[in-house]
Structure 1
């Protein structure tokens, strides 16, 4: 590989590091802090940041900080609009939110994290901290476990052993073997329920959305107060399972 090719690859890697760090932190950062976080020479990061600002990949936030730019949103929205799963899930998500009056989320796997890719708030205006774009470790949520549930047990154990970490509430399971067993069981039952693992007094009731191969590509979930979830678990579980089946049917997946 030529020196120029290596230089281009290096610049791309640094660009992705900058974008990933801002996405992870979910807040503007100074170029100096970005340089410290990447471990790259400050002069390199300053140059890349200036180029990204010129191309609207980053935007100014305050006097000394930068944030993700509007060009990224255009790319993201275009990508998402072509995802058949998301389009069908969005329609079902909005219908379920209207039917139940609860907040409904669509989640997908993003490497070792679970990301909220769609949300429709219910009419009761229950305050949910996890908005679209929120990323949390897979072991923190019902949806996170389901997203690994289709894998064989050894692979689930391997992944959970590498990425499981304590939640802020201290109630998320971190034992890789227990998580792998739970994820497999919940996937088989097409339902996962989580109480106060990532947010205090918040419950999540989720069902897997599978492709034609049987892999879980996304989840649809109801996010609501824990007290209400405990009182109406069966009704809500039936509703979210049916919504997942509706999405799969719309995508042409035959019922098993």
Structure 2
């Protein structure tokens, strides 16, 4: 029997597979259907390869056509895969009651936050009991330096690795100011030592953000629990918010000496 079909992929096939994933990532980022030519333009990729890959992804059910003009978007097979992922991803299964507990203790909006390559995103959120909404959109990608969680999610990396990961433009704040990369890396390592970080939000002028790590079996921060609160309340309740988040992070963290289970 020939082993040809089990042969390692060629570099050409690897590049094609990588570009296919980038198409899915691109559509996820822009959050709207696109024609193949628009995808190619937006990605700066060859039109011929994008047309071919869009066709293959559509046939496989990973993309679906949305109109007569050939626009495509993420397919329902991805939703099916996502549902199965959630069944086996302990953090998201255990996080909901913990986020509800954080909000019960603080009245504030609580979040579970993670990284997706070089960006931060809110994976889950529990709305606070305030009459007005203080939160970020679930799934929206944000530059890591703009966030409290970013200081913890990068805590296991060296300064060189941190600066290599974050795009230079992500050190520019929404107001046009600039975060010094070296000072940022130093703040990451300081936050990691303390296993907690909070600061006045870079995205607005009236909230304060708190974050505590959720550690995996190797002691690496794979996610964080967070609170977004008005500055005045954050000042008045700082100790409560800090202790609540630290306890919540520990409840979700994996400790290898606790019978392979969560606290």
Task: Please indicate the TM-score interval, normalised by the length of the shorter structure.
Answer: 0.7 to 0.9
4+ residue runs over 6 A deviation: none
The alpha-carbon distance between structure 1 residues 70 and 126, as it changes in their structure 2 partners (threshold 3 A), is farther
Higher alpha-carbon Rg: 2
| Cα pair 1:103 1:119 within 8 Å, conserved | yes
Spell out the pairing of 1:118-157 with structure 2 (5 A cutoff): 118-124=124-130, 126-128=132-134, 130-157=136-163
1:219–1:244 Cα contact (<8 Å) kept: yes
Deviation of the 1:112 alpha carbon: 1.3
Work out which of the residue numbers 108, 111, 116 in structure 2 matches 1:105.
111
Query: Deviations for 1:151-184, whole angstroms, at most 9, x for unmatched residues?
Result: 344544554575742132346x621211111111
**Cα 1:71–1:199 shift into 2, 3 Å:** farther
Q: Secondary structure at the match of 1:29?
A: coil
Aligned pair partner of 1:252 in 247, 255, 260: 255
* Deviation of 1:200 (Å): 4.4
Alpha-carbon spacing, 1:253–1:143, altered in 2? closer, same or farther (3 Å): farther
Segments of structure 2 that go 5 or more residues without pairing to the other structure are 259-263
Matches for 1:1-256 after TM superposition, within 5 Å: 5=10, 8-61=13-66, 64=69, 65-124=71-130, 126-128=132-134, 130-160=136-166, 164-170=170-176, 174-248=179-253, 251-253=254-256
Please report the TM-score for the alignment, with normalisation by the length of structure 1.
Answer: 0.83
CA-to-aligned-CA distance 1:57-85 (integer Å, 9 cap, x gap): 12344554322222212212322331223
Q: TM-score, normalised by structure 2?
A: 0.81
3-state DSSP class of the match of 1:104?
Answer: strand
Show structure 1 runs of 5+ residues with no match.
Answer: none
The SS at the match of 1:169 is coil
Supply the distance in 2 between the matched residues of 1:243 and 1:146 (Cα, whole angstroms). Answer: 15
Shift of 1:205: 0.7
Q: 2-side partners of 1:129 and 1:60: how far apart?
A: 33
Partner Cα separation in structure 1 for residue 164 and residue 49 of structure 2? 36
Q: Distance in 1 between matches of 2:169 and 2:155?
A: 15
CA RMSD of aligned residues (A): 2.9
**Deviation readout 1:230-250 (Å, 9 max, x if unpaired):** 3322221111111111222xx
How far 1:216 sits from its partner (Å)?
Answer: 1.1
